[in-house]
Structure 1
Amino acid sequence: MKFTLSWLKEHLETDASLDTILETLTKIGLEVEGVENPAEKLAPFVVGHVLTAERHPQADKLQVLSVDTGEGAPVQVVCGAPNARAGLKGVFGPPGAYVPGSDITLKVAAIRGVESKGMMCSVRELELGDAHEGIIELPEDAPTGENYASWAGLDDPVIDVSITPNRQDCMGVRGIARDLAAAGLGRLKALAEAYAPAGAQQGDMKVSDLGQRIELKPITGEGPGPNVRTEDEAGCPAFFGRIVSGVVNGEAPEWMTRRLKAIGQKPISALVDITNFVMFDLGRPLHVYDIAKLQGGLAARKAKPGEQVLALNGKTYTLDETMTVIADEAQVHDIGGIMGGEHSGVSETTTEVLIECAYFDPDHIARTGQKLTLTSDARQRFERGVDPAFLEDGLTVATLLVQALCGGTPSEVTRAGNPPTAPRTIAYDTNRAEALGGLAIAPERQKAILESLGFAVSADWQVTVPSWRRDVEGQADLVEEVIRIEGIDHVPSTPLPCVPGVAKPTATPAQMLERKARRTAAARGLNEAVTWSFIAESEAEPFGGSAWILDNPISEDMKAMRPSLLPGLLAAARRNMARGQDSVRLFEVGRRYLAEGERPTLGIVLAGNRLGRDWRSGKAQGFDAYDAKGETAAILAAIGAPVDNLQVLGDASGIYHPGRSGRFCLGPKNALAEFGELHPSVLKAFDLSGPVVAGEIYLDALPQKRAAGRMKSAYAPPALQAVKRDFAFLVPADMQAEALLRAVKGADKQAIAGVSLFDVFTGQGVPEGQKSLAVEVALQPGEKSFTDEELKAISERIVAAAAKLGARLRD
């Protein structure tokens, strides 16, 4: 929610400084996201008086001006504006000034051989509008040499406030002013006082009093009101309307367009700008229809399945029977409470308008907006809940503004339906402020705070909630109002009681496991990422699709719950590589969402090049499947997985490249992790160039630790040195080395301490269809050294175990 300081002061009578206002806004729960003062970028520009204007000797369309800038001697400026002439007063930019609209910094330069020491500026060049046909023309009484921004009233900071979803009352400037007045920063003006006319315009580029608007007064309509009705009381409980005939739709006055432009709104025409102004000023969305484009009366009704509407954003939307629309006898003209249609929009030829002021149900608005993925300023307000008691006054304000700016004669008001204005009363106990909020506040002070916010408090503490506070439902909400205005910074810091003795651990074994996995991955040089659990369905598809699809997603890109951690990590890797990162090493600890439930998981993605160059070629090398295997195995070992007993099987899931991936398993069915190079189709889906390797560790698949009574005895190093023996076996070419290593290790579990592969050979001396696998076997003696006979017997058992797989000793 953006507004200017002068705009705020139309509703709040205050002498508080800008810094005080900003500090107070944040204190009372309206967090200030930013402040920007347009005058700061225009600080170098001053009012300049053109003394003479002569034709440029080398160019027919250029003039050489002599400009008085208030600094003594006149300055020579070369100018190509057709309206440049002697006697004109405009805006001068000296050398060194940055021109925001042109993105240039002025300097002394020779233009066609004539020196120019500055620039006379246009509206567009100063980003004050779109006009650029000539330079700015100021009134004759504009003081030469004075700072232009200050003289023109542009020294008006724009404040950007973050409004939480429960504060629908602060989606208008008046609501924010009410909160600041309650916080003691001034007096909230009555609505009629805020809109009272004062001052007058002086010239085209300055307004002496930006508050000049209208005088609020009752309207006596001429003729019957429009034919409007509501056929959907659930979606649109109330529909008020009034016709204004004989209007002239030109440009809105500068005080209005300047405020709208300051908050990022593009002025369109007086009639449209009036509705936007009332929406931001009072939090009341409105809409105007060109009656000449309507056929019959307007009705708020449910859309018919398949009906379409061309909205004001130029897009066509297909509607369904759950959506509330405003339609005449021929077609739909408005997606109720969200966006109007192109067909009935006002234009410069409009002479008769129907002003709509309706109340739309917040839940219906939210569901329609989500289905259509359509957002608007009106939707933001209606789905939070606008003031249902402000229909009559909102329509009056809009009508008076139309009359004041466009002329015309208003009709009577047609009131269809009834807004939900039944009062809500809460029995309040003033002691709850201390019990819930931790701050003891006198009852009289609490009453004053509530009344300043618009609540009515009776003698027996029955508190009536104002119509604009839909979020207040119980005593806790009243406590919140009292505490935030009194100042949450006044709540004393009270330490919790300290229980004597040593604190017991509170983390669960699962949390400790995740913590260990996270620390190990970070210690190995991986960077932790935190990605969304919600992803697009297209991102979930390469991973088998998502079992959990949201009915009301924030957007289509966040519709599916992730079946794997890799989609988010791959998207993060793509963003990093697009920004010039040569080596991406990411991990994340989170949840996968499968049909059977949530599964804690650690995901790894390695993309780009390894850090450093290969010592043999001197070139950077990409990651391969062994990098993913090594990282996965290291983390598994650190978190207590029985790595020595794990099998490496090659049948990883389809997201990995066949032959370049595998699984760590305890038995063929209990997979603890997957790793490998990702399949090219997966990389294509995420717009990545390979190779990219990845891995996932299934933290819930790890075997549980043994109970304390069954723990292994403490490790004692062996007294005798190990004996090593090498064996070379001829095996079928398709045999996995892992199978041979397991068979050899199982030949004598007591004597064999370890088995490792150190050579694979195919070629001369090895029969076709076979390969030679050389393994090193570490034999660990116990209380005495092995005898030759014992070593021979162990060797025979090793050869016999290998023979069961079809392996034989190589000659």
Structure 2
Amino acid sequence: MKITSSWLKDHLKTNVNLEKIISTLNNIGLEVESVGAEDKSNFFLVAKIIKAEKHPNADKLKLCDVDIGSGKIQKVVCGASNARDGLLTVYAGPGAIIPKNQLKIKVTNIRGVDSYGMLCSESELGLSNESEGITELNSKKFNVGNSYFKNNSEPAIDISITPNRSDCLGIRGIARDLSAAGLGKLIDLEEIKLKTNIKNPFKVVIQSNSGCSSFAHCYIEGIKNTESPKWLKDKLISVGMNPISTVVDITNYIMLDLNRPLHAYDADKIDKKVIVRSSKKGEKFFALDKNNYPLDDGACLITNEKEILGLGGVIGGANSSISLESKNIFLESAVFNPVKISKIAKKLGINSDAKFRFERGVDPNIMEYGLKLAAKIIQKLCGGKISNFVTTGESNFKNRQIKFSAEKFEKIIGNKISSTNIKKILNNLGFNFKEIKNIYLIKVPTWRPDINEEVDVVEELIRILGYDKIQLIKPGVDSPKNILTVKQKLHRFAQRSIANKGYMETITYSFTNSKIDTLFGLHNKNLLITNPISNDLDTLRSSIFSNLLIHIKNNIHRNFEDQKIFECGPVFFGSKPGEQISVIGGIQIGKIYRKNWLEKDKDVDIFEIKDCVYKTLIELGIDEQELSIIQEAESCYHPGRSGKFYLNSNKELPLANFGEINPKIIKDIDIKNGLIFGFQIFLNNIPVIDKKNTTKKIKYLVSNFQKIERDFAFIIDKKFEAEKIINILLNVDRKLIKKIRIFDVFQGGNIEKNKRSIALNLLIQSQDKTLNDQEIEELSKKIIQTMQKSFDATLRS
């Protein structure tokens, strides 16, 4: 929202300077983004056409020699019919930005001839709607080489208005806030007295479910629509809006001044019966922006019985638009449903000034006042006779009531506030109230749809009183209670554990691209977002890998070849609250390390990822002996290069999975930099270990007695997993068997087809004594017997 201090002073009686206004705006929550005026003076010059001749390669273009006062003649290609020898006009040089369409001028080759700039029409300069020819200037008033635009524009203050403060989308609303902050006195709105001497010939019908609750209108006959007077053009230009014609400029002026959007129709182009209704699927609407929009059910339309005249609260129709030839006008001021406005405008991709205001909330009680003020100014500038004013639909808009106590302010803010300050601030903000035993019964003005509860009143009071008045209270040094739950601590520890293994943490949205999410085989159509922030982020993610792979690909494009990234967050399996789980997932691609003087390159493989998951689960407090791993493929992994971790073989509740990402997924996402490996740890399935067990340190015992190593080779069925073999053999005698390592696996040759040879290395050591040959032999027999009994294994000679 752009304002100027002079326009602000139309509503605020004050003598403060610009710096004080800016400072106060920031203090009361109306953040000033920038201050400044656009300088057009250096780029738009008064110029004279010395010679205009036909373009050598185009029948409808002219090649003009243009004197811009620098002593050098510029060659400019022009298509205007009035371009002629001796014409004084406006020249836009390279670097100029055309006000109408924001086109930046540069040297351009047009049909084989270089054009050094542009000769401008009034429409392109934002002066009027005249676009038939280039601007013709009076030689008595303008001199060649002078700047056409004088750089004496007043600095515009650009304010970032938050969505809840719709009242500040009008200059009067900003003036009211500044008045409440002590910067001056708010000037009362003038009383409007109009002589209505003709009958209103129009009848308005509002159909149910149209999205319009109230529609006020009048008819003005016999006007002369011309170029706006200087004061009106200057006001619009100062805040970045281009003047069009007097009638249209007046409606824009009222919108910016009072936050009251209006719309004017050419009364001779519409029937006398105006119908406000809901659209039907398949209808089409030709708008002022010259686009033809297909409509669905539910849009609010202003129509007659033959055609659509406008899209209510969004944009008018081209077939009923005002022009300089318009003699009679139908002027509308209405109240529209903000939700409907927002939905249809977003769906059609229309972003108008009216839509921007209606979707945030417009004061319904200023509907008739805005209409009368516009009619008064139109009659003053364009003449004409005004009909009676008619309002169809709701006309009695009630104020919301809220109970407020000073104790609530003190409880939330921590400071007391005097009754004098409460009354002063509420009065200045336009709130009516009654005080009964320190309880204020407040009537909220209709221009403040954001004030709904007692806490909102507290916010208004401290905002105007000053956030700097809040006293700082230092928190206690020690908290008697744990801030985080055991589960939260577990999740944070898991993040640190993964990060310590060289992974970089990423933080992405919980929503992702549905096309990519579908590749992981878990996507639920019910998770599609109704109103996504972008087309590429249109669904809640069902896999932690969706966003990670998107970022892996983006990083590859930035020449990052070796990547280890992870994220901790929710993934969703249903659209109802709670249908989600917390997952920590990681992706690794490239090489573990690059070639150096000691080692060769080493690519990432399945065992690197498995090791990361295994160590993390151990660090999370899970007993190594209770972990079970099986080769079982999720659809997102390569079927033969993946696995799952379970607790005590409980296959109903996986702790984690890992593997090579399915090559088909990588191909569909179009990543061509080799194999990608990933893992997922399901934090909800990790058991919360007893605090006593996690804090208790295990005594590290060192044996002073000799250790012995023994190797065994067994022929065993292929179906048995290495982990199971090791766990069973460790239980033969945990006091003596310290470690078991598989150092060789062989199949083929003279070994049966469904069997393989596994060679085991056992580390045997006692804490109490040196083992003799007999004890070692007895332990060896137990190992062989256990293998034969548990796995039907035979000792390989």
- Alignment TM-score, normalising by the size of structure 2: 0.80
Q: Which residue of 2 aligns with 1:411?
A: 387
The whole-number CA distance in structure 2 between the counterparts of 1:335 and 1:47 is 40
Q: Which residue of 2 aligns with 1:227?
A: 203
Q: CA 1:329 to 1:89, structure 2 compared with 1: closer, same or farther past 3 Å?
A: closer
Q: Which residue of 1 aligns with 2:708?
A: 723
For residue 658 of structure 2, what is the amino acid of its counterpart?
F
The whole-number CA distance in structure 2 between the counterparts of 1:65 and 1:649 is 85
The whole-number CA distance in structure 1 between the counterparts of 2:444 and 2:450 is 10
The whole-number CA distance in structure 2 between the counterparts of 1:389 and 1:418 is 11
Q: Which residue of 2 aligns with 1:613?
A: 594
Greater mean deviation of Cα atoms: 703-712 or 449-458: 703-712
The answer to whether residue 781 in structure 2 is matched with residue 796 in structure 1 is yes
SS at the partner of 1:781? coil
Shift in Å, 1:512:
0.8
Q: Judge conservation of contact 2:621–2:694 (CA < 8 Å) in 1.
A: no
Q: Judge conservation of contact 1:339–1:376 (CA < 8 Å) in 2.
A: yes
The whole-number CA distance in structure 2 between the counterparts of 1:714 and 1:390 is 76
Q: Which residue of 1 aligns with 2:59?
A: none
Q: CA 1:671 to 1:261, structure 2 compared with 1: closer, same or farther past 3 Å?
A: farther
The answer to whether residue 532 in structure 2 is matched with residue 546 in structure 1 is no
Greater mean deviation of Cα atoms: 417-426 or 383-392: 417-426
The answer to whether residue 439 in structure 2 is matched with residue 456 in structure 1 is no
Say which of 315, 319, 329 aligns to 2:297. 319
Q: Judge conservation of contact 1:14–1:187 (CA < 8 Å) in 2.
A: yes
SS at the partner of 1:657? strand
SS at the partner of 1:354? strand
Q: Which residue of 2 aligns with 1:32?
A: 32
Q: CA 1:465 to 1:128, structure 2 compared with 1: closer, same or farther past 3 Å?
A: same
Q: Judge conservation of contact 1:248–1:406 (CA < 8 Å) in 2.
A: yes
For residue 716 of structure 1, what is the amino acid of its counterpart?
Y
The whole-number CA distance in structure 2 between the counterparts of 1:777 and 1:65 is 98
Q: Which residue of 1 aligns with 2:565?
A: 586
Q: Judge conservation of contact 1:222–1:409 (CA < 8 Å) in 2.
A: yes
Shift in Å, 1:673:
0.7
Q: Which residue of 2 aligns with 1:525?
A: 502
For residue 419 of structure 2, what is the amino acid of its counterpart?
P
For residue 25 of structure 1, what is the amino acid of its counterpart?
L
SS at the partner of 1:22? helix
Q: CA 1:334 to 1:726, structure 2 compared with 1: closer, same or farther past 3 Å?
A: farther
SS at the partner of 2:196? coil
Q: CA 1:416 to 1:710, structure 2 compared with 1: closer, same or farther past 3 Å?
A: closer
SS at the partner of 2:198? coil
Q: Which residue of 1 aligns with 2:682?
A: 698
Q: CA 1:141 to 1:311, structure 2 compared with 1: closer, same or farther past 3 Å?
A: closer
The whole-number CA distance in structure 2 between the counterparts of 1:264 and 1:407 is 28
SS at the partner of 1:783? coil
Q: Judge conservation of contact 1:221–1:413 (CA < 8 Å) in 2.
A: no
SS at the partner of 2:29? coil
Q: 1:102-113, aligned counterparts within 5 Å?
A: none
For residue 27 of structure 2, what is the amino acid of its counterpart?
K
SS at the partner of 2:389? strand
Q: 1:176-187, aligned counterparts within 5 Å?
A: 176-187=174-185
The whole-number CA distance in structure 2 between the counterparts of 1:334 and 1:92 is 36
The answer to whether residue 354 in structure 2 is matched with residue 355 in structure 1 is no
Q: 1:108-147, aligned counterparts within 5 Å?
A: none
The whole-number CA distance in structure 1 between the counterparts of 2:4 and 2:47 is 30
The whole-number CA distance in structure 2 between the counterparts of 1:703 and 1:358 is 60
The whole-number CA distance in structure 2 between the counterparts of 1:138 and 1:728 is 107
Report the number of matched residues. Answer: 759
SS at the partner of 2:635? coil
For residue 163 of structure 1, what is the amino acid of its counterpart?
T
Q: 1:360-439, aligned counterparts within 5 Å?
A: 360-362=336-338, 365=341, 377-400=353-376, 402-403=378-379, 409-426=385-402, 428-430=404-406, 432-439=408-415
Q: Which residue of 1 aligns with 2:791?
A: 805
Q: 1:741-756, aligned counterparts within 5 Å?
A: 741-756=726-741
The whole-number CA distance in structure 1 between the counterparts of 2:548 and 2:324 is 52
SS at the partner of 1:415? strand
Shift in Å, 1:768:
4.9
Greater mean deviation of Cα atoms: 259-268 or 664-673: 259-268
Q: 1:25-64, aligned counterparts within 5 Å?
A: 25-35=25-35, 37-39=37-39, 61=63, 63=65
Q: CA 1:48 to 1:264, structure 2 compared with 1: closer, same or farther past 3 Å?
A: closer
The whole-number CA distance in structure 1 between the counterparts of 2:210 and 2:64 is 66
For residue 317 of structure 1, what is the amino acid of its counterpart?
L
The answer to whether residue 285 in structure 2 is matched with residue 310 in structure 1 is yes
Q: Describe the superposition over 1:469-490 as per-residue Cα deviations: whole angstroms up to 9, x where unpaired.
A: 2233454333322221121112
Q: CA 1:46 to 1:122, structure 2 compared with 1: closer, same or farther past 3 Å?
A: closer
Q: Which residue of 2 aligns with 1:492?
A: 471
For residue 784 of structure 1, what is the amino acid of its counterpart?
K
The whole-number CA distance in structure 1 between the counterparts of 2:603 and 2:226 is 64
The whole-number CA distance in structure 1 between the counterparts of 2:148 and 2:323 is 34
Shift in Å, 1:159:
0.6
Q: CA 1:128 to 1:696, structure 2 compared with 1: closer, same or farther past 3 Å?
A: farther
Q: Judge conservation of contact 1:100–1:125 (CA < 8 Å) in 2.
A: no
Shift in Å, 1:392:
0.7
Shift in Å, 1:656:
1.8
The whole-number CA distance in structure 2 between the counterparts of 1:259 and 1:580 is 51
The answer to whether residue 5 in structure 2 is matched with residue 21 in structure 1 is no
Q: Judge conservation of contact 2:279–2:296 (CA < 8 Å) in 1.
A: no
Task: Among all aligned residue pairs of Structure 1 and Structure 2, give the percentage whose two residues are the same amino acid.
Answer: 31
SS at the partner of 1:318? coil
The whole-number CA distance in structure 2 between the counterparts of 1:244 and 1:619 is 87
SS at the partner of 2:590? strand
SS at the partner of 1:759? strand
Q: Describe the superposition over 1:744-798 as per-residue Cα deviations: whole angstroms up to 9, x where unpaired.
A: 4444444322333333445656555554433333333231233223333333333
The whole-number CA distance in structure 2 between the counterparts of 1:643 and 1:129 is 76
Say which of 617, 642, 660 aligns to 2:641. 660
Q: CA 1:559 to 1:735, structure 2 compared with 1: closer, same or farther past 3 Å?
A: same
Q: Which residue of 2 aligns with 1:708?
A: 692
Q: 1:174-323, aligned counterparts within 5 Å?
A: 174-192=172-190, 218=194, 220=196, 222-232=198-208, 235-246=211-222, 274-291=250-267, 294=270, 297-303=273-279, 306=281, 308-310=283-285, 312=287, 314-320=292-298
For residue 780 of structure 1, what is the amino acid of its counterpart?
Q
Q: Judge conservation of contact 1:249–1:406 (CA < 8 Å) in 2.
A: yes
The whole-number CA distance in structure 2 between the counterparts of 1:375 and 1:89 is 34
The answer to whether residue 744 in structure 2 is matched with residue 759 in structure 1 is yes
Shift in Å, 1:406:
6.3
The whole-number CA distance in structure 1 between the counterparts of 2:462 and 2:190 is 30
Shift in Å, 1:697:
0.8
Say which of 498, 508, 533 aligns to 2:485. 508
Q: CA 1:634 to 1:453, structure 2 compared with 1: closer, same or farther past 3 Å?
A: same
Q: Judge conservation of contact 1:46–1:145 (CA < 8 Å) in 2.
A: no
The answer to whether residue 611 in structure 2 is matched with residue 630 in structure 1 is yes
The whole-number CA distance in structure 1 between the counterparts of 2:586 and 2:457 is 50
Say which of 76, 80, 99 aligns to 2:76. 80
Q: Which residue of 2 aligns with 1:678?
A: 661
Q: Which residue of 2 aligns with 1:784?
A: 769
The whole-number CA distance in structure 2 between the counterparts of 1:156 and 1:624 is 63
The whole-number CA distance in structure 2 between the counterparts of 1:575 and 1:376 is 35
Unaligned runs of 5+ in 1: 69-74, 107-111, 194-215
Q: CA 1:307 to 1:710, structure 2 compared with 1: closer, same or farther past 3 Å?
A: closer
Shift in Å, 1:608:
4.8
Q: CA 1:290 to 1:137, structure 2 compared with 1: closer, same or farther past 3 Å?
A: closer
The whole-number CA distance in structure 2 between the counterparts of 1:622 and 1:126 is 64
Greater mean deviation of Cα atoms: 608-617 or 130-139: 130-139
Q: Which residue of 1 aligns with 2:758?
A: 773
Unaligned runs of 5+ in 2: 57-61
Shift in Å, 1:414:
2.1
Q: Which residue of 2 aligns with 1:198?
A: none
